[in-house]
Amino acid sequence: MGDTKKVAFYTLGCKLNFAETSTIGRSFVKNGYQKVEFTEIADIYVINTCSVTENADKECKKIVKNALATSPNAFIAVVGCYAQLKPEDIAKIDGVDLVLGATEKFNIDHYINDLSKKTLTEIHSCEVEDADFFVDSYSIGDRTRAFLKVQDGCDYNCSYCTIPLARGISRSDKMENVLKNAREIAQQGVKEIVLTGVNIGDYGKGENGNKKHEHTFLELVKELDKIENIERIRVSSIEPNLLKNETIDFISTSKRFVPHFHIPLQSGSDKILKQMQRRYLSDLYLNRINRIKQLMPHCCIGVDVIVGFPGETDEDFLETYHFLNMLNVSYLHVFTYSERANTVAIEIKEVIPKNIRHKRNKMLRVLSAKKQHAFYESNLNSTQKVLFEADNKNGYMSGFTANYIKVKTEYDVSLINKVTLVTLSHFDIDGTMCCTLVEQNAKQSA
């Protein structure tokens, strides 16, 4: 046992990255490694990177430094989107031994011949055109919920985005394999599955190497809804033009899909949406929100929005602000535009000063806080089912309702990974919702 090598993982970015890191981690365990926390001493540290924002790039250097501070002689492997886009830049980071791109990361064991530190960093990164096959992944054991990858890559060419350059063309897992993975997750006692991908609404494209759609996202949703022993299925980010009315209608009455959507907007200005090369305008977005709220009044809706895109005037930004203020949505994920190499947007000359970008970001974050508070407040005194998680923070545990309200209660080990009926009673000072257990209320009344 003393000779068992230890491996630790750090994941930057999206739920898709978490699913892939978990899958890579299981491959190490199968090969005899012991998986440990990233803060512990390990023989290998694997860092799965993101490159959606400039900050994600900078964070990679800090994480490598932290790993080496814990284990100075550890083998450092950096994989993922940033590794695909800028492998040479990563190779210049002191202490990095191995860099693997979009497809190579899933065969990491093939590239580790020994764990000695390298004088020169090894780079194995395919041409992104070669990232045309699907590798299935899901997270398990790290959280109460599992992230299930159903799609990868993107054929959209939004003018600010590097993801197609990092992950390749849109392609999907086979329907039967998605269902098999969902059943495997269910057998391990997980109560909630979150569907992930780069562009999950495009599911079915490239399912068997065929560039056409063999299935639709709605067909996938209907089949997953039949999976036994899964309490909840949650849809992660989905493009508004691909979230069809038929899908909204089905989810509103489904057995397992919860009333929660995350729908990227990026801008409320049609002028900016066109410059971003998005595939919809604000009217379509408004129609999607209205339909969801008509059928599911208590549905939680999250929104991605980018501020400071080149050419975004004060008037354009205020158009976005007022559009979001009017929308019946629950929270915002606000991104400050950052220049990305090899994108169309970087050629636009009307660059917005960074201080103005940050000011706009702050305005939308304040708006987001107001909207989230209003959404939580609209659910006060309601009875909800909460899936509680294992973390114990100062004697409290937390979980989420089906419509994604964060709820806390006094720590009780018997509630972990259990869907529990509660009444949302009041706000805590940290903005989360406090609750009373319905069973406790019944006992007290008796």
Q: Are strands 419-427 and 433-437 parallel, antiparallel or unpaired?
A: antiparallel
Q: Which residues contact 347 (CB under 8 A, 6 or more apart)?
A: none
pLDDT of the chain, 446 residues: tens digit per residue: 457 899 999 998 888 999 999 999 999 999 999 999 999 999 999 999 987 666 666 788 899 999 999 999 999 999 988 889 888 988 989 999 999 988 899 989 889 878 888 888 999 877 777 778 888 999 987 668 999 999 999 999 999 999 899 899 999 999 999 999 999 999 999 999 999 999 999 999 988 776 778 899 999 999 999 999 999 999 989 999 999 999 999 999 999 999 999 999 999 999 999 999 999 999 999 999 999 999 999 999 999 999 999 999 999 999 999 999 999 999 999 999 999 889 999 999 999 999 999 999 999 999 999 999 999 999 999 999 999 998 899 999 999 999 999 999 999 999 999 999 999 999 998 888 999 998 754 444 43
129-258 and 6-126 share a CATH fold: no
pLDDT at position 57: 65
What pLDDT sits at residue 441? Answer: 47
Would you call 174 helix, strand, or coil by DSSP?
Answer: coil
Sheet arrangement for strand 192-196: 145-149, 192-196, 232-235
pTM of the predicted protein model: 0.91
Please list, residue by residue across 307-332, b when 16 or more beta carbons sit within 10 angstroms of its beta carbon and e when fewer do: bbbbbbeeebbebbbebbeebbbbbb
> Rounded distance, CA 147 to CA 128, Å?
24
Strand partners, 426: 434
DSSP state of 251: H
Chain centre distance of CA 71: 29
Which residue ranges make up each domain of the chain? 6-126, 129-258, 383-445
151 CB contacts (<8 Å, ≥6 apart)?
170, 171, 172, 173, 197, 198, 199, 200, 202, 203, 205
**261: amino acid identity, one letter:** F
Of 117, 101, 110, 102, the closest CA to residue 45 belongs to: 117
Class of domain 6-126: alpha beta
Smallest CA-to-CA distance from 153 within 101, 194, 203 is with 203
What pLDDT score was predicted for residue 60? 85
CATH (residue range 129-258)? 3.30.750.210
CA distances from 279 to 147, 239, 271, 351, 354 (A): 27, 9, 12, 23, 27
